[in-house]
Amino acid sequence: MEKIKVKICQGTTCFVMGGEVIKSIHDTLVEKYADKIEIVPVRCLEVCHDADSFSQAPYVYVNDEVVSAATVDKVISVIESKLKNE
């Protein structure tokens, strides 16, 4: 089974809008899904740069699905649905 790729944005906007959450998303995922996912810290992917989209930061990508205003629960539910579909 191919590992799910979780990209956590390390850009400035995501950090300012949710630096506190980014860390807990990272830690929770490592603990919960160690062997099923691969966590990749990425630089700003620039979705936050148009118009008002900054307000929906922090962004996390689960494979190619964008999770906006990411929280631990939101990211977990997307990962769970991907795991179920495999």
Partner 1 sequence: MNNTPELETRRLKREVLVRIIKAFMSDNYAENVRLIPYDMRPKGSEVPFRCCVYKERAVLRSRTIAGLGFAMEDDDERTLLSDFAQQALTRQVPEPEPLTVLQNACKGCPSAQVFVTELCQNCVAKPCMKACNFGAISNNGKRSIIDQDKCKKCGMCMNACPYHAIVKTIVPCEEACPVGAIAKGEDGLAHIDKDKCISCGKCVSACPFGAPHAKSQVIDVLSKIKQGKEVIAMFAPALVGHLPCTPEQFIDAFKKIGFSDVYEVAQGADTTIQVEAHDLQERLEQGAPFMTTSCCAAYNELVKKHIPEIKPYVSDAHTPLYYTAEIVKKEHPNAETVFISPCFAKRKEALDNPNVNNVLNFEELGAIFIAYGIEVDTCEEKEYAFKSSKEARDFPLSGGVARSVQAAWKGNPEDLKPTIINGLTKATVRDLKVYAKTGKCQLGNLIEVMCCEGGCIAGNAGLNTVKMALKKVTDYSSKSYSLKEDK
Q: How far is the CB of 45 from partner 1 (least distance, A)?
A: 11
- Which tokens go with 58? 């922090």
Smaller CB separation from partner 1, 2 or 20: 20
> In what side-by-side order are the strands of the sheet with 60-62?
37-42, 4-9, 60-62, 65-67
Smaller CB separation from partner 1, 39 or 54: 54
Give the residues lining the site for partner 1 (CB under 8 A). 10-13, 15-21, 23-24, 43-44, 48-49, 52, 54-55, 69, 71
Q: How far is the CB of 29 from partner 1 (least distance, A)?
A: 16
CA distance 71 to 22: 8
Residues 58, 22: contact at Cβ < 8 Å? yes
